[in-house]
Structure 1
Amino acid sequence: MPGDLDLVTFGQRLRHLRRTRGFTLSDLGERVGRAPSQLSLLENGKREPKLSLLTALSQTLGVSVEELLSRQPPSRRAQLEIAVEEAQRDPVYQSLNLPHLKVGKRVPNDVLEHIVGLYDELKRRSVKPTATPEEARRANADLRRQMRERGNYFEHIEKVAQETLDAVGYSSGALSQGQILSMVTHHGFTLRYVQDLPRSVRSITDTRNRRLYLKRESLGMHSPRTILLQTLGNFVLGHGQPRDFADFLRQRVEANYFAAAVLIPESSAVPYLQEAKKAHDLSVEDLRDVFSVSYEMAAHRFTNLANRHLGLVCHFIRNDETGIIYKAYENDGLIFPTDDTGAIEGQRMCRYWSGRQVFASPDRYSIYYQYTDKPNGTHFCVAHVDPSREKNFAITLGVPYKESRWFRGRETTNRTQSDCPTGECCVRPPADLAARWEGQVWPSARAHSHVLSALPSGTFPGVDETDVYTFLEHHAEE
């Protein structure tokens, strides 16, 4: 049995299929050799089915096991019943000390809609409107630790992405725009490109009218089709309103993963990478070009597949020209600079690491290869500067020295030595420079007012809800 089986949704699907076939619990029990009471426990989400029973149920009901285990509710009514059941399990709801509501067939849909709506508002008001910077850093560190433990591979998202690809007839190569639009339609949405999207959002989804709104322009490293798939991913993966900042981060990571898994499908990318490894010619730029994605997405997608399918450990870093780390991942033993909470983001990397050295290379926009000798070993890294209208970021993919033999660029003569993050190779200036200038300089630092400010408030941090609601009001009647 899959470890992430949603028992409540499974129970609803089983009840829905049983009723549409005209079976009572006793009828179904006779056909699968189980007592009606046992099947009732399944339908109420209180027992996990064994594989043998799953097989018997699927054969009797005339559906595949995959359909029986689908995480999608079979109907709007089932979706509402699941939502009410999950709401009653929430401590926020239970704090009201209300008796448990058993939803029978005679309870109208509009009553369930009201209960779910009231719960959503109760939940929204109970969520802390802000997270302190320390809480945010801890949440980020916890999430990164979870990613490292699983090799940055999310099997359930890979499956959902493949199901979506299969639904639009994808076979190989880069995904076409037509296939992406078919995905939107397949999941019951329509797409509208607009020019007046509020500045605080990348997209807006009108769940009432099943419309997705976005601009035909890139935002940072994200192209319109990437943003579209990230938005769609939230609904395909069954995300609800974030419970807190950690949940918001988790959902963002999962939606990004879904977009990458669709644009660089596992079924096509893995054979391609395995052949490149055999040829000792692994390269991020080729992965980028074959699937028509950004360099950053190609590098990050490599980390999803490397451990699972190539037997490689690696690290990934996104940093600006000053060395400030914005995003990072490792399962190869690389020691990042961290703060007291274990957070990497916001820390400054060593000036001798490839992510900073690439900015000083003769052609910063070409692929840069480097070996870096560090306290716990040597790493081979491939760095590239992804230009944007806002600021340039370096994207680095690195592996331990012994794994460099699989990569293009391994013959590079670029080599540096770093004692960071525990040494003083770049924390303090070289001794000869310090001797000449220490005590004779008064630099004026750039403002760092963000250090004192709280993180953006709201269920979706940083989003101006008034702008969003005004936007939807304007477009609702179109």
Structure 2
Amino acid sequence: MSDDLRKVFAGARIRHLRQTKKMTQAEFAENLGLSTSYLNQIENNNRSLSASVILALFNRFGFDLSDLALDESGKIAVDLGEILADPVFADTKIMPQELKIAVLNTPNMVRAFLGLHRAFQKSREQLGHLDTTLTETEASVAPMPYEEVRDYFHYKDNYIDELDREAEKFARTISQTDRQRYTLLADYLSDAHGIRVVETKSAAEAGAIRRFDPVTQTLHLSATSTAATNYFQMAYQVGLLEQGALIEKLLDEAGFHTQSAREVCRMTFANYFAGAVVLPYKEFVEAASEMRHDLDRLAFRFDASREQVCHRLSMLQRPGQKGVPFYFLRIDRAGNITKRHSATSLQFTRFGGSCPLWNIHAAFEGHGEILRQLASTPDGLRYVCLAFSKTIQSSAFGKTSRKYAIGLGCEAKYAGQLVYADDLDVSDPQRFEPIGTGCRICERSNCGHRSVPPLARDIKVDHHSRNVVPFQVD
């Protein structure tokens, strides 16, 4: 590898850090002991980060070099690479180095290109009659609300510092006694906001998990929900009531294309606040390390659900106090990804299903037990993968229960910090099952489970022979 490729360029990340601190280039440069012109060159990727600059960034602003491994530019590069696998670009050969340079030097132009391809994809689907149920709003060039909000959190590493710290501060105010936190939070809503919390069967029968009546100032929670779910819903209500100004500020900064996306994100911010109240950052990250990420012990310790614990583990990206980087996802029985985030190099495909060799699909066959798998991806990285099923029972005969599979995992180099890997031989490459992100972008040529050809590769059909997969990948 050449010296140029070893250099660390992080202009967009440094500029974002400076703007977050509301500092001019001159002020920021003075804090780092640099000249303004030197900083300007760094921000424009004309200079790489030297060891002394990285040390100054860490000492003055808590900037962690590990942030650069999986920062926003890396994730955008993954998305760009997947889009460029589209057959429409078949005659355009772009090297991985070119992707990285484009993302580092012209991130806004790359985002515009991603948005343009998204609009093209929707137009292509419309013309091909692949989805006749698209509404006029959904067929517009603007991204669909859930997609836009999902991308926002994806590029934020699923960590919103200001909101997380406010939740942590609030959690401390209701955890100072030996009383159950559930009771403390219900009392808080009554004392601070005059809101009465009641668990009712009528809410469950109506299919409501939470319903707030502003007239009677009553928060109705489902009597069939778990205590962990109802505690989360009370914390969600607190988030809406007390974090309105901060949420509005964050929404303004996000600059969503539609009001619908803004409202989806308002809900997501309140959910984020609630999750961070249930599992306060510092206390949780320390407990996770101490308990070696035992999901059930952590759930018991914090009166939380397994899913809440898994989701929170994927969010531990606070500068200077990061946890083990995990991926997290939830899929339904049709294979649709309903929740996803990755603080690892493993990214999830935007189009099509996930790899059938991944243990998350086998989790539906179990009854909630945690499955383990050692898996390797085409980029050569190795992972410890956990998966389990979750069933939400219906409240009436004839209504189908909802069943999901939850996936959680991290790179095998962190196996020593996982209780689940104690008896797994992560030193033997043969123990790792080869998996991919999804068939349309997976480069493996010898997989007997392939459902469709990879978009960026040619295929051959041998009319004299037939294997499990009816074509060969060049």
Q: Is residue 279–residue 312 contact of structure 2 (8 Å, CA) maintained in 1?
A: yes
Which of these residues, 406, 413, 417, is aligned with residue 402 of structure 1? 413
Q: Is residue 217–residue 223 contact of structure 1 (8 Å, CA) maintained in 2?
A: no
Alignment of 1:139-154 (within 5 A): 139-154=145-160
- What is the identity, as a one-letter code, of the residue corresponding to 2:229? S
Does structure 1 residue 249 correspond to structure 2 residue 260? no
- What is the identity, as a one-letter code, of the residue corresponding to 1:217? T
What are the superposed Cα offsets for residues 281-302 of structure 1, whole Å, 9 maximum, x if unpaired?
A: 3232321121121111010011
1:354 & 1:369 partners in 2: Cα distance?
7
CA 1:2–1:191 in 2, change beyond 3 Å: closer, same or farther?
farther
Matching residue of 1:368 = 371
Q: Is residue 167–residue 183 contact of structure 1 (8 Å, CA) maintained in 2?
A: no
Matching residue of 1:69 = none
Question: Larger radius of gyration, structure 1 or 2?
Answer: 1
Matching residue of 1:211 = 218
Which of these residues, 417, 422, 435, is aligned with residue 434 of structure 2? 417
SS of residue in 1 equivalent to 2:316: helix
Gap regions ≥5 residues in structure 1:
6-128, 340-346, 436-478
- What is the identity, as a one-letter code, of the residue corresponding to 1:304? M
Matching residue of 1:324 = 336
Q: Is residue 382–residue 432 contact of structure 2 (8 Å, CA) maintained in 1?
A: no
Query: Normalized against structure 2, the TM-score is what?
Result: 0.54
Does structure 1 residue 283 correspond to structure 2 residue 294? yes
CA 1:140–1:282 in 2, change beyond 3 Å: closer, same or farther?
same
Note the C-alpha offset of 1:225: 2.5
1:327 & 1:4 partners in 2: Cα distance?
31
Note the C-alpha offset of 1:2: 11
CA 1:135–1:284 in 2, change beyond 3 Å: closer, same or farther?
farther
Count of aligned pairs between the two proteins? 297
Alignment of 1:418-433 (within 5 A): 418-421=435-438, 422-423=441-442, 425=447, 426-428=449-451, 432-433=467-468
What are the superposed Cα offsets for residues 195-221 of structure 1, whole Å, 9 maximum, x if unpaired?
A: 4448475333233553323332229x9
- What is the identity, as a one-letter code, of the residue corresponding to 1:223? T
Q: Is residue 322–residue 348 contact of structure 1 (8 Å, CA) maintained in 2?
A: no
2:242 & 2:19 partners in 1: Cα distance?
18
1:200 & 1:364 partners in 2: Cα distance?
24
Q: Is residue 324–residue 348 contact of structure 1 (8 Å, CA) maintained in 2?
A: yes
Alignment of 1:97-246 (within 5 A): 131-132=137-138, 138-168=144-174, 170-171=175-176, 176-188=181-193, 189-197=195-203, 199=206, 201-218=208-225, 223-238=229-244, 244-246=259-261
Q: Is residue 173–residue 291 contact of structure 1 (8 Å, CA) maintained in 2?
A: no
1:130 & 1:236 partners in 2: Cα distance?
36
Note the C-alpha offset of 1:307: 5.8
Relative contact order, higher structure (CA 8 A, sep 6+): 1
2:411 & 2:433 partners in 1: Cα distance?
15
Q: Is residue 316–residue 325 contact of structure 2 (8 Å, CA) maintained in 1?
A: no
Query: Normalized against structure 1, the TM-score is what?
Result: 0.54
What are the superposed Cα offsets for residues 383-403 of structure 1, whole Å, 9 maximum, x if unpaired?
A: 121222222211111112222
Does structure 1 residue 386 correspond to structure 2 residue 390? yes
Percent identity of equivalent pairs:
18
